[in-house]
């Protein structure tokens, strides 16, 4: 029987790495989740939501043909890398939307769900990874996601210092089950940056947000979690700047747009095109 797409297992986002030695730790790559299927119908590559992107990933499909197995389902992440050797999501978006297939793509394989007629999902994750390690060629555009040595805290420190997006921790002995799970956990790295505050959103019953722009480009929203006195100082500064232009394409309802001159320092998750899990740390007048 032809193999069918399997809905991926998804790590839950947590704030800190899990403790203890019952976890495997891997780098979190900034790309598109991809499932490679090989069976009697050939090679197909699917997105996280089950869309067939074989045509866009034609170079990776050719590499998958060379894997010596009659059938398999491999779970991984399609990426492209920048000059520093780091995964680059914006470059990946550009690569997969070109009319001609891109030759700049790589796939980082991290799990094996099926091999030669056998469903491996009930095997422990470390056993599936061991089989996958033997299956993937040593060189090529399909590579194995190696487990990082050390404790969760030590791996997180290295990943953060290297400027990477984050890490994924997987509980040893865990089986593969589609959907969100705390047996896999992703821990992202944060960055801080000053950006222009161009608007605010204040609605009863909802957390207040400031709307930010980075070098003139809309960047998204950041939550305001100040104590009462500092929050009031912010609203006082905002009140004097209400009446700014509405950015093109951003006719947000219930937003107050501000005149230029207010800057905020924001803490946000790395590796995202827009601000995500962002928090306003401080604000000042632009000098």
Catalytic residues: 28
In the DSSP assignment, the letter for residue 259 is -
Q: Which two tokens stand for residue 5?
A: 């797409």
212 vs 280: CA distance, rounded Å: 10
46 vs 57: CA distance, rounded Å: 9
Cα-trace Rg, the chain = 22
Q: Which two tokens stand for residue 164?
A: 């990477």
Q: Which two tokens stand for residue 73?
A: 């389902």
28 vs 76: CA distance, rounded Å: 11
Q: Three-class SS of residue 121? A: coil
Lay out the sheet containing 179-188: strands in order across.
9-13, 179-188, 166-171, 23-28
Q: Which residue has the tokens 């043909």?
A: 65
- Alpha-carbon torsion angle 155, 156, 162, 165, nearest 10: 130
180 vs 50: CA distance, rounded Å: 16
Bridge partners of 269, per DSSP, are: 190
Report yes or no: 213 and 249 within 8 Å, Cβ to Cβ: no
């Amino acid at each position: 029987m032809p193999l069918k797409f399997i809905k991926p297992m998804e790590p839950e986002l947590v704030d800190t790495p899990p403790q203890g030695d019952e976890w495997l730790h891997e780098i979190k790559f900034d790309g598109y989740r991809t499932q490679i299927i090989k069976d009697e119908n050939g090679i197909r590559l699917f997105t996280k939501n089950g869309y067939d992107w074989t045509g866009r990933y034609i170079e990776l499909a050719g590499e998958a043909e060379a894997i010596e197995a009659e059938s398999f389902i491999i779970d991984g992440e399609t990426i492209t890398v920048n000059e520093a050797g780091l995964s680059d999501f914006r470059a990946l978006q550009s690569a997969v939307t070109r009319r001609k297939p891109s030759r700049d793509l790589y796939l980082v394989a991290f799990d094996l769900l099926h091999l030669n007629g056998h469903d491996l999902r009930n095997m422990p994750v470390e056993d599936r990874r061991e089989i996958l390690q033997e299956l993937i060629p040593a060189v090529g555009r399909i590579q194995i996601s190696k487990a990082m040595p050390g404790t969760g805290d030590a791996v997180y420190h290295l990943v953060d210092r290297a400027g990477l997006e984050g890490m994924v921790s997987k509980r040893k002995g865990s089986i593969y089950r589609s959907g969100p799970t705390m047996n896999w956990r992703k821990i992202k790295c944060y960055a801080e940056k000053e950006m222009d505050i161009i608007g605010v959103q204040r609605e009863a019953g909802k957390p207040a947000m400031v709307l930010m722009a980075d070098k003139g480009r809309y960047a998204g929203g950041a939550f305001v979690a100040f104590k009462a006195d500092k929050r009031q100082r912010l609203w006082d500064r905002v009140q004097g700047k209400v009446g700014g232009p509405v950015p093109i394409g951003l006719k947000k309802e219930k937003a107050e747009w501000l005149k230029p001159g207010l800057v905020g320092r924001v803490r946000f998750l790395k590796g995202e095109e827009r601000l995500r899990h962002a928090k306003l740390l401080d604000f000042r007048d632009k000098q």
